[in-house]
Amino acid sequence: MKKLFAGISIIVFTLSFAHIASAETMSQDEQVIHIINRITYGPNAETIDHVKKIGVQNFIEEQLHPENISTPDSLSSKLSNMKTINMPLDTLVAEYGNPLQMARMDKNKDAEKDARKNSNIIVEELSQAKVERGVESNAQLQEVLTDFWFNHFNVFAEKERDRFYVSSYERDAIRPYTMGRFRDLLEATAKHPAMLVYLDNWLNTDPNSRAARGKQNGINENYAREIMELHTMGVDGGYTQTDVTTLAHILTGWGLGKGKTMEEKSVFYFDPKRHDYSDKIFLGHKIRGRGEAEIEEALDILATHPSTAHHISYQLAQNFLADQPPETLVKKMAETFTHSNGDIREVLETMFKSPEFWDKQYFRKKFKPPFRYIVSALRVTNVEADDNLIMLPALKNMGEPLYRNLTPDGFPNTNDHWVNSDALLKRIDVAKRIIKAALNTGKNVSAAELIKVLGGDFSQDTISAINGAGQNLQPVMVLSSPEFLYY
């Protein structure tokens, strides 16, 4: 009995000690690695020295202002060789959409197949560009945030016409707003044809309206629900099924251009003839029925709702800090969100300046999802862009097929989804292929060099395990080590 009690008191002691220890702040060297891990896709040969030289705070400041960061020439030239990533939406539709539509009208199966195949280049180049930018861009936080917000406002490139829209969606509706005002980001996504098609709102119609007919004959709740559940308030944000239905009525007519050609149908257009003009009560607000302005009002209500401030802050903190972010931090961020009128840059600053962000318990605790894993491996090994081609199928194989997440919640970013046995084996396999590619192009990928680039703080256990292995295997083991699998 005595022994048992002694055992219990040891456990209690250990637990409380663990609690005190967990409030410890990271060392300066850890802070350098932590900030690089969280706001970039991991160190390349220069990153650690750069951050040590200018200091962590200046590095954060630098990354929060991507407009002042120049694009490396090698990246610019790679991007400029891509045909479609800078094509305006109407050109994309004219070049790739119209041939498909024509083939369909002619009922020419072969031509349809060809047109479809030709249009694959849009998503292929966009995916390729995403990897290139992740690896080479110096505006790393901008890339991390583009990924975050795309995922937050996810669309699926295989849904109907979205294959023609998806690169414009990322470029025109996401990239310009990553650190801007949330309300602008919400509006840009709400109006983009990619979202209007993906969540069906282009069909959402007042059943009693003059123009209700055919496939546009009534209400569709899809977007109304997801904009509240995923984009703004969160599933526990305090709305009801009535609010979903009401918002669907408010959103009637918010859709795409009329006309016969795919180009005409690929622009945002509010159709007053399909709108429900009745007065409505949405989330307790009286909304006077008056057309498009109702939708702007509803977006205002959503963007400024306290639940939205909390939900967005939680999502950001989960992405940048911890799977279960501390509520104290989320609250501070939500306050900033509210006071700054949804200024994303300020919300990020609040997070990066908080003591919670530097709490040692979060150091290297998130398991890298596939895209982050691959891009960070390419950065540390300096493997050339052309070799990335093999990486797109690998991403699909690992569960992150770029731009092809079917469901609107996007890819998960928490350990509970990604840590599994198959994930580990596949990372080892990819590590082997990347090291092979590096060796083929004459890169110095000795284990010692890689560890140095990564900040040099590998544990003694890891280092002795690596040293105990054969020469060729050593760099593969660096990329498979606990220090590299987590960030």
Partner 1 sequence: MAMNRREFVKMMGLGVGYSMLRFGHGGMAFASDAPVDKHLIVIMMRGAVDGLSIVVPYNEQAYYKNRPNIAIQRSEVLTLDERFGLHPSLAPLMPLWTNKSMAFVHASGSPAETRSHFEAQDIMETASEHPGSTGWMNRLVQILPDTNSSTRALSFGNTLPRIFEGSYNVATVPRGIKGGNGKMAFDNPKVGGAFDSLYKNNPELHSLYKDAVSSREEMVADLNEEMTAASKDAAKPDEFVNQCEKLAKMMSRDAKIQLAFMDVGGWDTHINQGNAKGQLANKLEKLGTALAALCQGLGDRYKDTTIVVMSEFGRTVAENGNQGTDHGHGNVMWLFGGNVAGGKVWGQWPGLEQTQLHEARDLAVTTDYRSVIGQVLVSQFKLSPEQVSKVLNTYTPAPDLNGLV
Residues within the interface to partner 1 (CB under 8 A): 14-15, 18, 200, 203-205, 207, 212, 215-222, 225, 229, 235, 241, 244, 324, 397-400, 406-407, 409, 412, 415-426, 428-429, 432, 459, 461-462, 465-466, 468-470, 473, 476-477, 480-482, 485
Tokens of 300: 């205002």
**304/414 with CB nearer partner 1:** 414
Cα–Cα distance between 446 and 449 in angstroms, integer? 5
**180/412 with CB nearer partner 1:** 412
Closest by Cα among 298, 296, 363, 306 to 336: 306
- State the minimum distance, in angstroms, from the CB of residue 429 to partner 1: 5
- State the minimum distance, in angstroms, from the CB of residue 304 to partner 1: 22
- State the minimum distance, in angstroms, from the CB of residue 176 to partner 1: 28
DSSP 17-57: HHHHHHTPBPPHHHHHHHHHHHHSS---TTHHHHHHHH-HH
Cβ atoms within 10 Å of 286's Cβ, excluding its own: 8
**91/324 with CB nearer partner 1:** 324
Q: Identify any residues that bridge with 281 across adjacent strands, giving them in sequence order.
A: 286
- State the minimum distance, in angstroms, from the CB of residue 426 to partner 1: 7
| Cα torsion 265, 268, 272, 274: sign | positive
**Helix/strand/coil percentages in the chain, nearest 5:** 65, 5, 30
**165/352 with CB nearer partner 1:** 165
- State the minimum distance, in angstroms, from the CB of residue 39 to partner 1: 24
- State the minimum distance, in angstroms, from the CB of residue 396 to partner 1: 8
- State the minimum distance, in angstroms, from the CB of residue 415 to partner 1: 6
- State the minimum distance, in angstroms, from the CB of residue 481 to partner 1: 6
**121/212 with CB nearer partner 1:** 212
**33/179 with CB nearer partner 1:** 33
**58/324 with CB nearer partner 1:** 324
DSSP 274-322: G---S-EEETTEEE---THHHHHHHHHHHHH-HHHHHHHHHHHHHHHT-
DSSP 111-133: HHHHHHHHHHHHHHHHHHHHHHH
Q: What is the 8-class DSSP label of residue 72?
A: P
Start-end of H helices in 153-281: 162-168, 182-191, 193-198, 222-226, 241-250
| CB-based contact 84:122 (threshold 8 Å) | yes
**96/314 with CB nearer partner 1:** 314
